[in-house]
């Protein structure tokens, strides 16, 4: 027996008069006492079944017992719907199946939520993910994800990139997160790390002569979960030998374009815009600015050096942005709260009314020159200040900028702003460890000409790292790498890693680099972030089939779970007693 002759979503006028079988889930059932209507759903869409007791008394009896999400098989005749019953919102809405035989193939217990219910609690959705995935939104998102990954693969294959699988369990790769560790039964007391990225393997593949590598690689990072972060995620990971930075950019821009086209959308204009890190920070206070709106930052550090207002004169950096309207006291108070959440001490402001008069508790402390320097071109505006260390000012004003962009409706949602941010600093100062650490990863190339700064002024050295940003989301990072083992050692030293430590942790890399390493560089694009944005979702959980909840657990399976003593003993592991 064939389960079905066509899919539900394929039913149409051309089949009128034919006897066909359909199989799928009962999405809704309307029991009119006599006639029963069932919307039957499968992967292709919905079709209406009509069960008429006069035509099929046995089927009608069965139909009365059908509940939502039962699996059914129905056989009958395709018929045109009466004019008043045509549903123009449904692709199959002109026809229905007049059922002769109905079979309940499989039953469903009472549902924890209805699939067409809005705003179902996310905990419940994740606990019953298999039901949640039947919903239209999730069906659409996972299909979109598959379309995008397929398009990227085709593009990369066509461009001569070789898909190479690299280990998921190996030696730790520093990407700024903690490692998930895997014990090894054959060597108790030793652990593999789940790879934070295939970084060192892809560099090795360049030394091995592959020229162009890519992989849709799963990466594992133990860090707090957020809207754009899961413990495991996929990257379009790629590496190129003898590259210019533009070669890398072209591969990424091509992948993005191919994805848009595969979805039938207009691709963003190329080449993508570029800003140096320095410019992005000074104009937007962020290394991932949303360029769909203005509200740029301006500097007032110099002009306020001698200010009577001590908050300004005593701050290492004073920056401001001009909101093109007079904000109310309540709005200003809530912005101040936001500033505090982001580590600011407050949020000084000046409101310039339509007459150009200033309203502000701090106005009396500012000189005419200071006021004139920040006076908006058009009156009826509010100037918001950040005054603190440069890092804090940037963080606070960038958060305020993003907030206002959304709240004041300044964001043009129809725009797609892709941006390359380049020339990142090579190092960052790690307050906790009181040492320099990498800002991208330790294998990132130094900007030509900045090599001497590695020792003399690490904070001033720039790198050959770049990020790709889309509408304020960081899609991924990459760099031209270090291919000279001596430079690589100097970078380790600058980060306080002794030659001995470097040998122990990265000895294999240093050896690889000593064996004829070509110049190389690459990138990794976060697939889930990219897909989430393409799907119009704000959380990557919405495009992941079985994501972890914010707590880090997997509600469907109940993982992570304790492990039996004997198993742990075999691995040489003893678990310390846990609080609670
Ligand atoms: N391995 C880097 C990352 O995962 C990407 C790269 O530098 O290619 O962010």
Ligand 1: does its nearest atom lie under 6 Å from the Cβ of 215? no
Q: What is the pLDDT of residue 433?
A: 87
What residues have CB less than 8 Å from 547, skipping those under 6 apart? 126, 230, 540, 541, 554
Ligand 1: does its nearest atom lie under 6 Å from the Cβ of 166? no
pTM for the whole thing? Answer: 0.94
Q: In angstroms, what is the span from residue 199 Cα to ligand 1's centroid?
A: 6
Q: CA 395, CA 430: separation in Å to the nearest integer?
A: 17
Q: In angstroms, what is the span from residue 412 Cα to ligand 1's centroid?
A: 31
- Both structure tokens of 257: 């374009």
For ligand 1, mutation pick of 220, 441, 464, 530 (most atoms within 8 Å of CB): 441
Answer whether residue 580 shows pLDDT above 80: no
Q: In angstroms, what is the span from residue 196 Cα to ligand 1's centroid?
A: 9
Q: What is the pLDDT of residue 467?
A: 98
Residue 171 has φ and ψ, to the nearest 5°, of: -90, 150
CB 275 within 8 A of CB 291: no
Question: From edge to edge, which strands make up the β-sheet containing 381-388?
Answer: 297-299, 317-323, 381-388, 348-352, 358-359
**Which atom of ligand 1 lies closest to the CA of 235?**
4
Q: What is the pLDDT of residue 542?
A: 98
pLDDT digits (tens, 9 = 90+) for 476-534: 999 999 999 999 999 999 999 999 999 999 999 999 999 999 999 999 999 999 999 99
Taking alpha carbons only, the member of 520, 526, 527, 419 closest to residue 464 is: 520
Q: In angstroms, what is the span from residue 214 Cα to ligand 1's centroid?
A: 12
pLDDT digits (tens, 9 = 90+) for 266-306: 999 999 999 999 999 999 999 999 999 999 999 999 999 99
User: In percent, how much of the chain has pLDDT > 70?
Assistant: 100
pLDDT digits (tens, 9 = 90+) for 367-402: 999 999 999 999 899 999 999 999 999 999 999 999
Task: Report cis status (omega within 30 of 0) of the bond before 36.
Answer: no
Taking alpha carbons only, the member of 148, 112, 109 closest to residue 132 is: 112
Q: In angstroms, what is the span from residue 197 Cα to ligand 1's centroid?
A: 7
Q: In angstroms, what is the span from residue 523 Cα to ligand 1's centroid?
A: 6
pLDDT digits (tens, 9 = 90+) for 306-339: 999 999 999 999 999 999 999 999 999 999 999 9
- Both structure tokens of 119: 């705003």
Q: Is 295 left (phi over 0), alpha (psi -120 to 50) or beta?
A: left
**Which atom of ligand 1 lies closest to the CA of 173?**
1
Ligand 1: does its nearest atom lie under 6 Å from the Cβ of 477? yes
Per-residue pLDDT band for 172 (boundaries 50, 70, 90) equals: confident
Answer whether residue 352 shows pLDDT above 90: yes
Ligand 1: does its nearest atom lie under 6 Å from the Cβ of 175? yes
Question: What sign results for the dihedral spanned by CA atoms 7, 10, 14, 17?
Answer: positive
Q: In angstroms, what is the span from residue 177 Cα to ligand 1's centroid?
A: 12
Helix H or strand E encompassing 428: strand 427-430
Per-residue pLDDT band for 97 (boundaries 50, 70, 90) equals: very high
DSSP3 helix / strand / coil % (the chain, rounded to 5):
30, 25, 40
Q: What is the pLDDT of residue 578?
A: 83
Taking alpha carbons only, the member of 164, 165, 202 closest to residue 522 is: 202
Q: CA 431, CA 35: separation in Å to the nearest integer?
A: 73
Q: What is the pLDDT of residue 209?
A: 98
Cα-atom radius of gyration of the chain, to the nearest Å?
A: 30
DSSP-derived pairing of the beta strands 381-388 and 317-323: antiparallel
Per-residue pLDDT band for 32 (boundaries 50, 70, 90) equals: confident
Taking alpha carbons only, the member of 384, 388, 318 closest to residue 349 is: 384
Q: Which residue has the tokens 């690459």?
A: 522
Q: What is the pLDDT of residue 396?
A: 97
- Both structure tokens of 50: 């009509």
Q: How many residues are there in the chain? A: 580
Ligand 1: does its nearest atom lie under 6 Å from the Cβ of 199? yes
Q: CA 478, CA 439: separation in Å to the nearest integer?
A: 12
Residue with the smallest CA separation from ligand 1 atom 1 is 199
Bridge partners (DSSP) listed for residue 235 = 217, 526
Provide the H-helix boundaries in 408-514.
453-456, 485-494, 499-513
Residue with the smallest CA separation from ligand 1 atom 3 is 524
What residues have CB less than 8 Å from 310, skipping those under 6 apart? none
Q: Which residue has the tokens 């889309």?
A: 470
Q: In angstroms, what is the span from residue 252 Cα to ligand 1's centroid?
A: 13
Rounded to 10 deg, the angle between the 499-513 and 199-207 helix axes is 40
Ligand 1: does its nearest atom lie under 6 Å from the Cβ of 255? no
What are the helix and strand counts (H, E) for the chain? 16, 23
Residue with the smallest CA separation from ligand 1 atom 7 is 478
Per-residue pLDDT band for 173 (boundaries 50, 70, 90) equals: confident
CB 22 within 8 A of CB 30: no
Q: In angstroms, what is the span from residue 233 Cα to ligand 1's centroid?
A: 13
Ligand 1: does its nearest atom lie under 6 Å from the Cβ of 463? no
Taking alpha carbons only, the member of 514, 421, 516, 433 closest to residue 474 is: 421
């Amino acid at each position: 027996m064939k389960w079905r002759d066509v899919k539900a979503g394929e039913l149409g006028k051309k089949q009128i008069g034919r006897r066909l079988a359909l199989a799928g889930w009962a999405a809704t059932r309307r029991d009119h006492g006599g006639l029963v209507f069932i919307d039957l759903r499968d992967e292709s869409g919905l079709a209406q079944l009509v069960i008429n007791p006069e035509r099929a008394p046995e089927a009608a009896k069965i139909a009365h017992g059908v509940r939502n999400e039962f699996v059914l098989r129905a056989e009958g005749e395709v018929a045109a719907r009466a004019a008043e019953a045509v549903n123009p919102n449904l692709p199959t809405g002109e026809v229905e199946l007049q059922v002769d035989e109905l079979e309940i193939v499989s039953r469903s217990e009472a549902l924890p939520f209805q699939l067409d219910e809005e705003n179902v609690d996310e905990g419940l959705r994740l606990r019953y993910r298999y039901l949640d995935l039947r919903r239209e939104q999730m069906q659409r998102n996972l299909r979109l994800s598959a379309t995008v990954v397929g398009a990227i693969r085709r593009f990369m294959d066509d461009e001569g990139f070789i898909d190479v699988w690299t280990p998921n369990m190996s030696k730790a790769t520093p990407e700024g997160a903690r490692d998930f560790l895997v014990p090894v039964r054959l060597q108790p007391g030793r652990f593999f790390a789940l790879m934070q990225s295939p970084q060192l393997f892809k560099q090795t593949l360049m030394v091995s002569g592959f020229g162009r590598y890519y992989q849709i690689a799963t990466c594992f990072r133990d860090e707090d979960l957020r809207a754009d972060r899961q413990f495991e995620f996929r990257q379009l990971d790629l590496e190129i030998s003898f590259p210019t930075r533009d070669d890398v950019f072209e591969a990424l821009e091509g992948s993005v374009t191919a994805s848009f086209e595969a979805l039938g959308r207009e691709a963003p204009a190329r080449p993508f815009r570029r800003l140096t890190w320095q410019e992005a920070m000074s104009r937007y206070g962020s290394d991932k600015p949303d360029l769909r709106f203005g509200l740029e930052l301006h500097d007032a550090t110099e002009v306020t050096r001698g200010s009577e207002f001590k908050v300004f004169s005593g701050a290492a950096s004073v920056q401001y942005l001009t909101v093109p309207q007079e904000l109310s006291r309540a709005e200003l108070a809530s912005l101040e709260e936001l500033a505090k959440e982001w580590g600011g001490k407050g949020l000084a402001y000046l409101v310039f009314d339509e007459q150009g008069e200033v309203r502000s508790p701090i106005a009396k402390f500012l000189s005419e020159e200071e006021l004139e320097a920040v006076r908006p071109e058009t009156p009826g505006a509010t100037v918001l200040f950040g005054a603190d260390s440069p890092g804090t000012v940037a963080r606070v004003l960038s958060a305020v900028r993003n907030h206002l962009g959304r709240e004041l409706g300044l964001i043009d949602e129809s725009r797609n702003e892709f941006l390359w941010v380049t020339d990142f600093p090579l190092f960052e100062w790690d307050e906790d460890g009181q040492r320099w650490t990498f800002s991208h990863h330790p294998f990132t190339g130094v900007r030509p000409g900045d090599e001497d700064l590695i020792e003399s002024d690490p904070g001033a050295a720039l790198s050959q790292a770049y990020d790709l940003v889309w509408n304020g989301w960081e899609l991924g990072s990459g760099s031209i790498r270090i291919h000279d083992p001596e430079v690589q050692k100097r970078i380790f030293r600058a980060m306080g890693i002794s030659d001995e430590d470097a040998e122990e942790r990265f000895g294999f890399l240093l050896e690889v680099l000593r064996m004829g390493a070509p110049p190389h560089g690459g990138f990794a694009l976060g697939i889930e972030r990219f897909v989430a944005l393409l799907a119009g979702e704000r959380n990557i959980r919405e495009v992941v089939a079985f994501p972890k909840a914010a707590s880090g657990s997997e509600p469907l399976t109940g993982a992570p779970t304790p492990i039996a003593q004997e198993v742990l003993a075999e691995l040489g592991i003893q678990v310390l007693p846990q609080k609670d």
